[in-house]
Amino acid sequence: MPDSMKLAIPCSSCFYLLPDSQRGLNAPRPTYLRELGNTSLYDMTCDRGHQQRGWLANHKFEILFESGIKALKDEYYREAVTSFAVALERFYEFSIILLLMDNFFDENQRLRGLDVLPKFGKFWSKTLKFSERQLGAFCSLYISEFGQIPLLFDDSELRNKVIHAGYIPTLNEALVFGEGVNKSIKQFCKKYDEKDVGRPYKRATYVQRVSIALDGLKLKSPLITADYGHMTKVSLFVDATVDSYFNGSITIADYIASMPTS
């Protein structure tokens, strides 16, 4: 099995110690490696001893997709296909929350009521937790929002062979599969972004807050992100909130070629 994926989290204290001219997306270099966890909240101590508590703005599906890329790079093609397939499922979850955003927040980005998310969280864990139902909910919401049927990436054939029949895909099969998922996610992110031009805020930038609040409710400790330190973002291949991702043309193969050899 490949090493579990680690996320390199940058330290904001180190960031502010640098002069303005030297600060950038990857400067200073991230100094803290955290295991890929199931929660977006973290506590860290950087190499220089700064302590930091915060939450990651990267969505779960983006992290799972990165995990697929890493498996591909390490020549674990079954694991790569599985991660890409699960990333796509989690992307539908992301999309459902995005398309329902106006039910959660008003135009001033304020929650529409303290019970809105707990009620939705209950509904989600009882009724919407199954991936087939999520796909149905996503398609309905999408048709309602855009007046057209979503163009879905049909991943079922290879996915079922790999997950249910123990099939070992080739590098090329895994790469083509990953690119199919990537293209599909990109196309939807672009549509969401275009639809939000002129809105008071882009819905994609608020999904993670809702996801974290829902995670907190599941853990029975309601967490408001504002109370949990500041937001940090790790640089990943997929980023639903930046147009350089969904308007860009970098392929998974290009990205792997640019990664440092470990």
Residues in contact with Zn ion by the rule CB under 5 A: 11, 13-14, 46, 48, 50
Rounded-to-integer distance, Cα 75 and Cα 94, Å = 28
Q: Which two tokens stand for residue 248?
A: 């860009």
Count how many Cα atoms sit within 13 Å of the Cα of residue 167 in the half-sphere of its side chain.
Answer: 16
Nearer to Zn ion, 48 or 112 (CB): 48
Smallest gap from Cβ 227 to Zn ion, in A, equals 22
> What single letter denotes the amino acid at residue 36?
L
Least separation in angstroms between residue 89's CB and Zn ion is 35
In the bound state with Zn ion, the residue whose beta carbon lies nearer, of 4 and 13, is 13
C-alpha separations of 92 from 22, 26, 77, 224, 254 in Å: 38, 29, 23, 23, 26
Output the residue with the shortest Cβ distance to Zn ion: 11
Q: Minimal distance in Å, beta carbon 24 to Zn ion?
A: 16
By beta-carbon proximity to Zn ion, the closer residue of 14 and 85 is: 14
Reduced to 3 DSSP states, what percent helix, strand and coil does the chain have, rounded to the nearest 5? Answer: 55, 10, 35
- Nearer to Zn ion among residue 43 and residue 243 (C-beta): 43
Question: What is the nearest approach in angstroms of Zn ion to the Cβ of residue 39?
Answer: 22
* Spatial separation of the C-alpha atoms in residues 114 and 66, rounded to whole Å: 34
Q: At what angle do helices 207-218 and 116-126 cross, to 10 degrees?
A: 70
> Residue type for 213, please?
A
SS3 242: coil
Least gap, CB of 13 to Zn ion (angstroms): 4
Do residues 90 and 64 make contact, with C-beta atoms less than 8 angstroms apart? yes
Contact criterion met (CB below 8 Å) for 55 and 41: yes
Q: How far is the CB of 41 from Zn ion (least distance, A)?
A: 18
25 or 257: whose CB is closer to Zn ion?
A: 25
Q: At closest approach, how far in Å is the CB of 124 from Zn ion?
A: 37
Residue number, 11 or 137, with CB nearest to Zn ion: 11
Q: Closest CB to Zn ion among 46 and 137?
A: 46
Residues 6+ apart with CB under 8 A from 252: 69, 72, 175, 178, 179, 182, 237
C-alpha to C-alpha distance for 262 and 27, rounded to whole angstroms: 20
Give the pairing type, strands 32-35 and 41-45: unpaired
